[in-house]
Amino acid sequence: MNGMEDVVVTGLGATTPLGGDVASTWAGMLAGESGIRAIEEEWAQQLPVRIAGRLKTEPAEVLDRVQARRMDRCEQIALVAAREAWADAGRPEVDPERLAVVIGTGTGGALTLLGQDDVLEASGVRKVSPHTVPMLMANGPAAWVSIELGARGGAHTPVSACASGAEAIAMGLDLIRLGRADVVVAGGTEACIHPLPLAGFAQAKAHSTRNGEPGRASRPFDVDRDGFVIGEGAVVVVLERAGFAAARAARAHAGLAGAGVTSDAFHITAAHAEGQVRAMRGALESAGVSPRDVGVVHAHATSTPQGDLVEAESVAEAVGLHPAVTATKSMTGHLFGAAGAVGALAAILAVRDGVVPAVRNLDVLDPEVKLDVVAGGPRPGRYEAALANAFGFGGHNASLVFTRVG
């Protein structure tokens, strides 16, 4: 680790369109299931986009009713995932001032902001909820998780579009390596399935319009891809200083060996290969891992015509053509601020369990994509290292390297 402190992943938590926890989400990925469904509500029928990756399990089913009413949906699901991750880690006994939280999000409490604006316009100021501000603020998920766990070592919120969740995990790595924390709870959350984002993405021609076949709409690297599908969910991991975890005999799912974070300074929405390559190379360098050691790449691969090609070129340049490449947005949809954390989860489990999920809906690989994209069924193998990418509007690039332990 280039002389730096080793960091391990001891806890995993998730709630996604495939399942309400890690086990069901991972089982869904390996089975090639789709969590993308038609939006049946009347408000969607006027829209050109009427499909989304909605949560399989409603957070209100597992949270206290009063508490849930005071939280935006993105806060609710972050807390659900964090509770699972904390329990999975064995609820480590750690000095509260050595415990930090980093939860990224792309839009924060967008549903609260838009909903309460409707209330204000329709019914006036007296009907606006007094909980509006703590529900809409982007740092709300990190704040709620820190309160839940008694974390006093900092509660941080990267807001970098679709790279937010991966940047959160990268920041957790930095906090431990810099000696500022022994344990960090990190991840991403997003919940913004609403007419306005759907309309905006449709107008930008970024969202798939396969309304008649939701399960086939998200198709990374396929020659017939026509855009991403919006999704919601949260993934949270518990990171620990390896020595701290060993002292309490904690089980490690994987090592978090390195991270690379860059910015393009190029275009507000267009992907840029040079910045992506620098992020991947930076992650490998900080991990002390050579490109040949990487057996798995979880691609950002949103299913947009141009974005997938740029990433395919970037992966080929930074890592090579040898890794098994997967893209689970084909099953979950694009979870924006949580996307990088979902990719991290898939990468961790791939090296832990020795199996890579296949990309759903990959009927015909785009001939311009030269990567070894996994199709047809999960690919078993012994994978020593996995790289997970997350790229966001604004030119945000984040790559994470996970390694097998034991």
- 């690297």: which residue's tokens? 221
Distance CA 378, CA 31 (A): 8
CA geometry: angle 56, 57, 60, nearest 5 deg: 145
Contact between residue 387 and residue 323 where contact means Cβ atoms under 8 Å apart: yes
What is the C-alpha separation between 379 and 360, in angstroms, rounded?
13
Does the annotation count 162 as an active-site position?
A: yes
* Residue 82, helix vs strand vs coil: helix
DSSP 13-80: EEEBTTBSSHHHHHHHHHHT---EEE--SGGGTTSS--EEE--SS-GGGTS-HHHHHTS-HHHHHHHH
Catalytic residue chosen out of the listed positions 74, 162, 298, 396:
162
- Helix or strand holding residue 114 (H, E): helix 110-123
Active site residue 298: no
Q: Are 80 and 62 in contact (CB under 8 A)?
A: yes
DSSP code of 228?
A: B
The pair of structure tokens assigned to 309 is: 């090609």
Instruction: Compute the distance between CA of residue 34 and CA of residue 331 in angstroms, rounded to an integer.
Output: 4
The question of whether 334 is a catalytic residue gets the answer yes
DSSP state of 359: P
Catalytic, out of 156, 253, 272, 300:
300
Q: What DSSP assignment string belongs to 87-106?
A: HHTT-----GGGEEEEEE-S
Q: If phi over 0 gives left and psi between -120 and 50 gives alpha, with beta otherwise, what is residue 16?
A: beta
Catalytic residue among 194, 298, 334, 396: 334
CA angle 116, 122, 124 (to 5 degrees): 75
Closest CA to 129 of 203, 47, 70: 70
Which residues are known to be catalytic? 162, 300, 334
